[in-house]
Structure 1
Amino acid sequence: MGEKERVEIKSVPFLPVNCNYTLLDDAYTGGGGFLNGDYLIPHVRETPDKYGRRKALSYYANYVKAVINALVDPVFRKVAARNWEGQGTDSAMFSKFQNDVDGKGTKIQRFMKRALKKAKLHGVCFIVVDNVPEQPLNKGEAIEKRAFPYAYLVFPKQVKAYECDKAGVLTSITYEIYARRASGAAVSYTTERWTWTTTSWKREAEGEPVETEHKLGVVPVIPLFGTDADEGDMQPIGDMLSIARINLAIFNLCSELRELLRNQAFATLCYPVTDNAGFDELNKIVTGTENALGYDGLARTSPSYIAPPAEQAILLQDEIKRLVEEIYRIASLTSVVGVQQKNSGVAKEWDFENTNQALADLAENCQDAEMKMAFLFEKWTNSTISYSCVYPDDFGIVDVTEALDDVTKALDLQIGGLFQKEVKKKAVEVYLADLPEERFDAVMEDIDQQIEEVQQAVGFEGAPE
């Protein structure tokens, strides 16, 4: 594509509904309105006292965090295979970058895991690869003083505007960074506004703005997506917003269920009285949950307890259960977390495949983001790294007992030859998946050697005289 063809056709203000991002953050941490009860919706005729009591008794069942962890943790269960071929100080400097990505001692694996959690929660997370302002005289000094590029995260609610070309590539982005200062109970914030283009950066804070050119030729900001997005859309609405809203509904239902159980779940004593004075005295009796219910003593029945109907509580419990199942369905986790269903074997395989594909897509997004980080590192340092990064792409969950049982049945067929060798290797892959790579390879070679020896013996014994 020629330079003239790569024109910027999209320039939009970044105007997310900030309350959505606040809800997402609160749903993940359990803070905000979930902590103080402000996310509870009062009933139409609910008095302030009752509403305040219901807020005080509220609790939050956090499904958002469970879903995020279930979708991100498997991606980083195994360390990604990372290699680079830089020479001398270039290699040493990038190696140190891998072990200290952000200047705070965070390794690349942990940094990318945090970035993916934020990307999955918000729909996207931005990785900024910046360079230190004061450049050392040589790369050796840069390594010694850690004076080389570093990365940090920017969240969607911090971004104020962006521009993309028709290929969906960022050509400029503006965001704000907040520095938090606390002194006792007093908390204050200072704000810096940064704007990056393909040729320059500008920093606006207290005083005059500072603007400087860079020679990267690209915007050093990498969008890491946690959901599907159209080309050039840097504010996608992820599926976690739907899940957070369902979790909000569950929060309210749990409060209503608790209020119902608190007010109605206890049996009430029915006590017969024969005159008005008896009714007055009855009000002073404290029994059961609070007091007794009086009725005409001429009915000649003995005192007894009555209990409220359980249908309403059961209805609320069923609705909560349905919403929980809906959360895991939306998250493609019905086969992994929290939901037990009597599905056929084919249905279970489809569920596992759906979950596996969701995890593989997230792993591929992380892999691409790391490659772009290495590219920007090369640009900033004028070095050649030749970086490669491979994340795991198969996250299937294997029932070891069932798999080995299938292997035993296959060996009982006594087909022999290559079939027997491949079946044995399948058993090793299932049962010894966590074995160190060298020992795993040694076991595989041993199987090959055993089969070859058997084939040679059979061939020798069975040779014509």
Structure 2
Amino acid sequence: MAIDRTSDQFLLDAYNGQGGFATGEYLIAHPRETETKLERRQALAVYPNFVRKIVDVYMGFLWKQAPNREHDDLYGDFLANADGAGTKLNTLLFCYQRLAMILGTVYVIVDKPQQQGQTRAEQALPYLAMRFPGQLVDEVKDAAGTWQSVTFSELLNNKTVYRTYTLTGWRVSRNPDGSEVIEQGDYTLNRVPVVRLHIAKPLNPIDSRSQSWVYDLAILNWDLYNTRSELRELFRAQTFAILALPVTDDSERERLKDLTISTENALTYNPSGGGEPSFIAPPADPVELYMKQIADTVQDIYRIANLEFVGGVQQSGVATAFYFQQTNSSMGGMAEMCESAESDIARLVYLWQGREFNGNISYNNEFNMTDLAQAISTVMDTVTLGMGSKFDKAIKKRLAKQVLGNDICGTDMEAIGQEIDAQGDLYGDRLAREGLASAPAAVAAEPVELSATLESTPPVDLSGLDSRMDALETAVDGVKTAVTAGLQAQPAPNITVEAPVINVTVPEQPPAQITVEAPVVNVTVPEAQPVVNQPQQPVVINTGSNGKIIDLVRDANGAVTGANVRESNSNEN
């Protein structure tokens, strides 16, 4: 059977794992392979579906965040029921874009039910219908590539009919040229109500179909499917070794002709007859060659899909960032195509209702894997650099956009930006406040005439302060001496190393141990024994005419925490 690998059905089968991949019809027979062996290979063939895995990964990223939409109630109702059967628009567009990734392009028809209510409230909303590229039978475009008419094939009562849309109306006929009309109608849209949903921009911008994004993946997956089948056949044909029995004559050969060999019986032989039984096993080289070919094909699949960073080869951080940037660029283009298609759909929905769409539709086009905590840490570090209020505000706006993404509409994001602008330079203001707090307080007072003040102030005799200052200095020196005398000199610690343990021993203190077990460092410090508070001799300091006694106050560990001053008597001086 000839395999058309460019057909829509082959590409759909490559994603679904159905069709010829399930029946084995996509296997290629060997030149001299018998029909029986081919049928056996078809029955045992297994399809490793990398196409679906990769497509689903991409779609998960593309629709991780819902699009931002600013709209009125009309489009809100359409979002909730986009196909006339209660399906949400996001669900439909997800399915349409997945098909576009497989086929390259799908065509979305924005139609309106023929039966309408009497009032605007009773009128049914427009709805969406989808057509495959293979259903496109004919098209007429102007020089700019805008459709003037387009014709699709479809089934009506199990018979093929042809539906044509023009700038002014539609018709259903039995023939592609529009003859034998079954039904028809008019509208005042002044455009063809069909939207192209591409997965990527066509090579020629006016082309009606883009190339399938999964085509190369499907071909590689098909090659892998055939290679695995051939390896399976090699296993079945060569895995079991052959038992070789040496014989001396024809009579012995005849005797062994109907011999059954298994694990439940034994075999006798005459060693003098020319040897002993042995197994002949096939070489392992063909199997190893197939295994290498399979591994190389899998790597090619990931490489074609710009997913080198998820392959089995360890990549550096720079290489991983480079590969993911390629993937990010590819998905950004896909998001742009879907955003453009939905914008056209919205305009057609409003044209059907005799109105103009004035809303806004925005799809997420950044699919980075930056850790949010790292992003916040970076922002905080840059804010503390003090690079100015404008820089700080720009950084905060960027962080807000990264945290919220497309979960809020553009109006709310603009309001957040205005709030950030209204906050001012909070960091600079805080530094300014802290600087003022540490500076001497300014006293607001009326200006004073210095000469008048000095003249009216009586002279002050400062000679009596000299003796008091001397006494105060003597008292302070006495306290320092007493504290120093009360604290014993700390002896040097003794450190010994016996890998992986480091012992630190301080005299009169329990020993500490540091254990190094990469990548963990354990530090063990026994509880220190309480120090018995020894009675201290009071310190007597002469301040001139009267003696003062300072009693040092110590805690449970012997550390000086304060002092009490009391009057002395003659016995203590």
TM-score of the alignment, normalized to the shorter chain, above 0.5: yes
1:422 Cα offset (Å): 8.3
1:71 Cα offset (Å): 2.2
Matches for 1:437-448 after TM superposition, within 5 Å: none
The CA deviation string for residues 83-138 of structure 1, in whole angstroms up to 9 with x for no partner, is: 114xxxxx3x4322111111121111111111101111111111100111122222
1:51 Cα offset (Å): 0.9
Question: Structure 1 residues 287 and 454, CA, compared in 2 at 3 Å: closer, same or farther?
Answer: farther
- Count of matched residue pairs: 425
Q: 1:177 aligns with which of 154, 172, 186?
A: 154
| Contact 1:82 1:389 survives alignment (8 Å) | yes
Question: Structure 1 residues 416 and 355, CA, compared in 2 at 3 Å: closer, same or farther?
Answer: same
| Aligned residue in 2 for 1:186 | none
| Contact 2:100 2:199 survives alignment (8 Å) | yes
Where 1:138 maps in the other structure, the secondary structure is coil
| Aligned residue in 1 for 2:97 | 116
The yes-or-no answer on 1:261 pairing with 2:235 is: yes
Distance, in Å, in 1 between the alignment partners of 2:323 and 2:220 is 21
User: Greater CA radius of gyration, 1 or 2?
Assistant: 2
Where 2:31 maps in the other structure, the secondary structure is coil
Question: Structure 1 residues 399 and 264, CA, compared in 2 at 3 Å: closer, same or farther?
Answer: farther
The yes-or-no answer on 1:158 pairing with 2:135 is: yes
Q: 2:88 aligns with which of 107, 120, 130?
A: 107
Question: Structure 1 residues 208 and 424, CA, compared in 2 at 3 Å: closer, same or farther?
Answer: closer
| Aligned residue in 2 for 1:25 | 12
Amino acid across the alignment from 1:153: M
| Aligned residue in 1 for 2:526 | none
| Contact 2:243 2:277 survives alignment (8 Å) | yes
| Aligned residue in 1 for 2:108 | 127
| Aligned residue in 2 for 1:321 | 295
1:46 Cα offset (Å): 0.9
Q: 1:190 aligns with which of 153, 159, 166?
A: 159
Question: Structure 1 residues 285 and 362, CA, compared in 2 at 3 Å: closer, same or farther?
Answer: farther
Question: Structure 1 residues 389 and 404, CA, compared in 2 at 3 Å: closer, same or farther?
Answer: closer
Identify which range, 120-129 or 344-353, moves more after superposition: 344-353
Matches for 1:342-421 after TM superposition, within 5 Å: 342-399=314-371, 403=374, 407=378, 411=381, 415=385
Matches for 1:78-89 after TM superposition, within 5 Å: 78-85=65-72
| Aligned residue in 2 for 1:34 | 21
Question: Structure 1 residues 374 and 423, CA, compared in 2 at 3 Å: closer, same or farther?
Answer: closer
Identify which range, 452-461 or 424-433, moves more after superposition: 424-433
| Aligned residue in 2 for 1:275 | 249
Long gaps (5+) in structure 1:
1-16, 86-90, 181-188
Where 1:104 maps in the other structure, the secondary structure is coil
| Contact 1:24 1:122 survives alignment (8 Å) | yes
The CA deviation string for residues 164-223 of structure 1, in whole angstroms up to 9 with x for no partner, is: 22212222111112368xxxxxxxx33331111112211125974323332111111101
| Contact 1:411 1:423 survives alignment (8 Å) | no
Relative contact order (C-alpha < 8 Å, sep 6+): which is higher? 1
Identify which range, 276-285 or 254-263, moves more after superposition: 276-285
Distance, in Å, in 2 between the alignment partners of 1:356 and 1:433 is 19
| Aligned residue in 1 for 2:62 | 75
Question: Structure 1 residues 452 and 386, CA, compared in 2 at 3 Å: closer, same or farther?
Answer: same
The CA deviation string for residues 68-90 of structure 1, in whole angstroms up to 9 with x for no partner, is: 212222111111111114xxxxx
| Contact 2:65 2:407 survives alignment (8 Å) | no
| Contact 2:66 2:406 survives alignment (8 Å) | no
| Contact 1:165 1:232 survives alignment (8 Å) | no
Amino acid across the alignment from 2:247: V
Long gaps (5+) in structure 2:
443-573
| Contact 2:84 2:125 survives alignment (8 Å) | no
The yes-or-no answer on 1:56 pairing with 2:33 is: no
| Contact 2:14 2:49 survives alignment (8 Å) | yes
Amino acid across the alignment from 1:232: I
| Aligned residue in 2 for 1:214 | 187
| Aligned residue in 2 for 1:456 | 432
| Contact 1:167 1:231 survives alignment (8 Å) | no
Where 1:273 maps in the other structure, the secondary structure is coil
Where 1:352 maps in the other structure, the secondary structure is helix
Identify which range, 430-439 or 26-35, moves more after superposition: 430-439
TM-score by length of 2: 0.65
Where 1:371 maps in the other structure, the secondary structure is helix
| Contact 1:417 1:451 survives alignment (8 Å) | no
Question: Structure 1 residues 141 and 353, CA, compared in 2 at 3 Å: closer, same or farther?
Answer: same
Q: 2:208 aligns with which of 216, 226, 234?
A: 234
Amino acid across the alignment from 1:454: R
Question: Structure 1 residues 56 and 285, CA, compared in 2 at 3 Å: closer, same or farther?
Answer: farther
Where 1:272 maps in the other structure, the secondary structure is coil
Distance, in Å, in 1 between the alignment partners of 2:436 and 2:275 is 100
The CA deviation string for residues 377-399 of structure 1, in whole angstroms up to 9 with x for no partner, is: 11111123412111111001235
1:277 Cα offset (Å): 3.8
Distance, in Å, in 1 between the alignment partners of 2:270 and 2:218 is 52
Amino acid across the alignment from 2:146: V
Where 1:34 maps in the other structure, the secondary structure is helix
1:280 Cα offset (Å): 4.1
1:54 Cα offset (Å): 0.7
Question: Structure 1 residues 458 and 416, CA, compared in 2 at 3 Å: closer, same or farther?
Answer: farther
Question: Structure 1 residues 103 and 305, CA, compared in 2 at 3 Å: closer, same or farther?
Answer: same
Distance, in Å, in 1 between the alignment partners of 2:322 and 2:54 is 19
| Contact 1:128 1:222 survives alignment (8 Å) | yes
Matches for 1:265-344 after TM superposition, within 5 Å: 265-287=239-261, 300-335=274-309, 337=310, 339-344=311-316
Question: Structure 1 residues 299 and 462, CA, compared in 2 at 3 Å: closer, same or farther?
Answer: farther
Distance, in Å, in 1 between the alignment partners of 2:159 and 2:213 is 32
| Aligned residue in 1 for 2:198 | 225
| Contact 1:272 1:296 survives alignment (8 Å) | no
Where 2:258 maps in the other structure, the secondary structure is coil
| Contact 2:332 2:365 survives alignment (8 Å) | yes
Amino acid across the alignment from 1:361: G
Distance, in Å, in 1 between the alignment partners of 2:279 and 2:398 is 64
| Contact 1:407 1:423 survives alignment (8 Å) | no
| Contact 2:67 2:406 survives alignment (8 Å) | no
Structural RMSD (CA): 3.9
Q: 1:94 aligns with which of 42, 64, 75?
A: 75
| Aligned residue in 1 for 2:484 | none
Where 2:223 maps in the other structure, the secondary structure is helix
| Aligned residue in 2 for 1:4 | none
TM-score by length of 1: 0.79
Distance, in Å, in 2 between the alignment partners of 1:370 and 1:175 is 21
| Contact 2:199 2:213 survives alignment (8 Å) | no
| Contact 1:239 1:330 survives alignment (8 Å) | no
Identify which range, 105-114 or 17-26, moves more after superposition: 17-26
Where 1:113 maps in the other structure, the secondary structure is helix
